[in-house]
């Protein structure tokens, strides 16, 4: 085996390669990249600017070009493709699977998109791409590729193998052959293993499995991911409302969907508004972080004004101020925990979910238990460290109230966000913390005002 471990890039190699690009040292570039996998070349090109990358791509064999471009990060690719002529773009598109081609086309300005598609000259590719462009990116129709192998149920195994041979170039990973009737209605599938083991003249209709799970074009990417994960599928056929076979989604695309959803969730929880990485520019990183920080500062400023209302109480008993951080931190922590549990159950819906009333009742029980333990702890701390009994009582009471309110707020916010089509994980981010800060302070200061 030539190469057991993946291609390793050293910093020395990057510097040597950079020099080669500057000196137009085509021989070095070609030699050092020969035999390197397209995915590794994509990773290398991420390190260079668009002009340098274009120079490298133009030297390489056209066969790998499309795959390397497809492997670039979307934002790098978008910049990079600006340097391509329409003819070059068309030749890249021709060499991509229809789903990847559509993703790439969607990154182009509308006017370029049309010219590139026109360059496809009414081929089957053009028809496939035009079909796929109709779907949203985040539903089954937008994820599927048109490339697949299908066989009529009346065919024999030999005819089926002939079809595989005919399509071998177009369909890289076959997994299964989809079985359809004369009207292209999906009937089921035959695995390649079964085809290999079957007699040449067996009819496909006699060996296919009819209980294949499929999805309709409008099913959301989250649902497709859940189904493929639940049933351990490596590919899932996509059908239209009539049951006609439209395309298939392969597991590698779903792995990407799952990873992206997890990243979106992390960003939402951390209050980052764009998909940034550590090696993005200072400007991009700042832009992605400021919006939620400003929301937080704005919330903090309202808090300041709110506490100002209670200035007299504060002047009377300065010790009130000591417990502001405790109240606030606990409210924030409880809120994030609650919303995170809801986000988790939205991501993995159980077969039967309880009705809202039962759910909220349980939230109340958990909140009361948590609130009780924490309040007693704080009361104990306060008494042991020589605080006054009155203030200790007020702080514990307020803390209990904050835990209850933050639990409900944390539970309801993601449900409401989800209902209106927003990412529910936003509820575990700065938004919930800011809201909880305000409500927590309100509970605390009103309790003080009433009791002390």
Residues 389-408, interacting with a second copy (CB under 8 A): 399
CB of 314 to a second copy, least distance (A): 5
For a second copy, the closer CB: 156 or 434:
434
Question: Quick one: which segment of 21-29, 107-115, 124-132, 294-302 binds a second copy (CB under 8 A)?
Answer: 294-302
For a second copy, the closer CB: 119 or 243:
243
In this structure, what DSSP letter does residue 6 have? P
Q: Which residue is it, tokens 């020099």?
A: 19
Question: Is 104 among the residues that bind a second copy (CB under 8 A)?
Answer: no
Question: Is 324 among the residues that bind a second copy (CB under 8 A)?
Answer: yes
- Buried b vs exposed e over 181-201: b needs ≥16 C-beta within 10 Å? eeebebbbbbbeebbeebeee
Q: Which of 246, 343, 412, 443 binds a second copy (CB under 8 A)?
A: 343
Residues 71-90, interacting with a second copy (CB under 8 A): none
Sign of CA dihedral 80, 81, 87, 89: positive
Residues 296-315, interacting with a second copy (CB under 8 A): 296-297, 299-301, 303-305, 307-308, 311, 314-315
For a second copy, the closer CB: 120 or 177:
177
Question: Is 428 among the residues that bind a second copy (CB under 8 A)?
Answer: yes
Question: Is 211 among the residues that bind a second copy (CB under 8 A)?
Answer: yes
For a second copy, the closer CB: 49 or 354:
354
Neighbours of 113 (CB within 10 A): 19
Residues 128-167, interacting with a second copy (CB under 8 A): 161, 164-165
Question: Is 170 among the residues that bind a second copy (CB under 8 A)?
Answer: no
Question: Is 256 among the residues that bind a second copy (CB under 8 A)?
Answer: yes
Question: Is 377 among the residues that bind a second copy (CB under 8 A)?
Answer: yes
Those residues whose C-beta lies under 8 Å from the C-beta of residue 193, and which sit 6 or more positions away, are none
Those residues whose C-beta lies under 8 Å from the C-beta of residue 62, and which sit 6 or more positions away, are 91, 95
Q: Which of 17, 292, 379, 400 binds a second copy (CB under 8 A)?
A: 292
Measured in degrees and rounded to the nearest 5, phi and psi for residue 67 equal: -65, -40
How many residues sit in the footprint of a second copy (CB under 8 A)?
Answer: 139
Q: What does the block give as tokens for 41?
A: 């070349």
Residues 3-62, interacting with a second copy (CB under 8 A): 3-6, 9, 11, 14, 35, 37, 39, 43-44, 46-47
What is the full DSSP assignment across 188-218?
A: EEEEHHHHHHS-TT-BHHHH-BS----EETT
Identify the CA nearest to 28 among candidates 37, 36, 41, 19: 19
Q: What does the block give as tokens for 387?
A: 């605080």
| Residue-level length of the chain | 452
CB of 351 to a second copy, least distance (A): 5
Question: Is 293 among the residues that bind a second copy (CB under 8 A)?
Answer: yes
Are the C-beta atoms of 319 and 326 separated by less than 8 Å? no
Question: Is 417 among the residues that bind a second copy (CB under 8 A)?
Answer: no
Are the C-beta atoms of 414 and 293 separated by less than 8 Å? no
Q: Which of 60, 174, 360, 452 binds a second copy (CB under 8 A)?
A: 174
Strand order in 235-239's β-sheet?
215-216, 235-239, 245-250
Q: Which residue is it, tokens 């009705």?
A: 355
Question: Is 333 among the residues that bind a second copy (CB under 8 A)?
Answer: yes
CB of 393 to a second copy, least distance (A): 15
d(C-alpha 440, C-alpha 333), whole Å: 12
Q: Which of 266, 274, 356, 416 binds a second copy (CB under 8 A)?
A: 266
In this structure, what DSSP letter does residue 107 have? T
For a second copy, the closer CB: 116 or 336:
336
């Amino acid at each position: 085996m030539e190469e057991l471990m993946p291609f390793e890039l050293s910093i020395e190699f990057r510097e040597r390669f950079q020099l080669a690009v500057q000196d137009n040292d085509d021989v070095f570039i070609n030699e050092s990249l020969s035999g390197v996998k397209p995915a590794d070349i994509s990773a290398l090109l991420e390190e260079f600017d668009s002009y340098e990358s274009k120079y490298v791509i133009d030297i390489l064999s056209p066969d790998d070009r499309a795959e390397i471009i497809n492997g670039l990060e979307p934002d790098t690719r978008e910049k990079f493709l600006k340097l391509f002529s329409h003819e070059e773009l068309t030749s890249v598109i021709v060499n991509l699977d229809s789903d990847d081609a559509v993703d790439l086309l969607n990154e182009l300005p509308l006017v370029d998109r049309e010219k590139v598609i026109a360059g496809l000259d009414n081929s089957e590719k053009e028809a496939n791409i035009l079909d796929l462009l109709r779907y949203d990116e985040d539903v089954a129709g937008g994820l599927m590729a048109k490339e697949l192998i299908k066989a009529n149920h009346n065919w024999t195994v030999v005819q089926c193998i002939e079809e595989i041979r005919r399509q071998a170039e177009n369909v890289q990973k076959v997994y299964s052959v989809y079985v359809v009737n004369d009207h292209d209605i999906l009937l089921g599938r035959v695995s390649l293993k079964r085809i290999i083991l079957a007699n040449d003249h067996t009819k496909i209709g006699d060996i296919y499995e009819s209980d294949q799970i499929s999805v309709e074009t409008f099913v959301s990417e989250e649902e497709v991911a859940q189904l493929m994960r639940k049933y351990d599928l490596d590919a899932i056929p996509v059908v239209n409302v009539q049951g006609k076979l439209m395309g298939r989604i392969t597991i590698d695309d779903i792995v990407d969907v799952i990873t992206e959803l997890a990243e979106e969730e992390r960003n939402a929880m951390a209050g980052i508004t764009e998909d940034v990485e550590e090696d993005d520019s200072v400007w991009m990183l700042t832009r992605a972080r400021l919006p939620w920080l400003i929301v937080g500062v704005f919330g903090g400023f309202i808090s300041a004004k709110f506490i100002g209302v209670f200035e007299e109480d504060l002047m009377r008993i300065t010790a009130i101020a000591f417990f502001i951080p405790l109240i606030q931190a606990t409210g924030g922590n409880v809120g994030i925990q609650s919303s995170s549990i809801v986000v988790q159950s939205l991501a993995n819906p159980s077969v039967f979910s309880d009705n809202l009333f039962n759910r909220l009742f349980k939230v109340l029980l958990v909140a009361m238990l948590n609130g009780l333990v924490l309040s007693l702890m704080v009361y104990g701390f306060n008494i042991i460290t020589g605080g006054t009994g009155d203030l200790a009582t007020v702080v514990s009471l307020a803390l209990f109230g904050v835990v209850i309110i933050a639990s409900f707020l944390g539970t309801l916010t993601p449900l409401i966000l989800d209902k209106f089509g927003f990412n529910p994980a936003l509820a575990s981010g700065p938004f919930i913390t800011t809201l909880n800060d305000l409500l927590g302070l309100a509970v605390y200061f009103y309790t003080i005002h009433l009791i002390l």
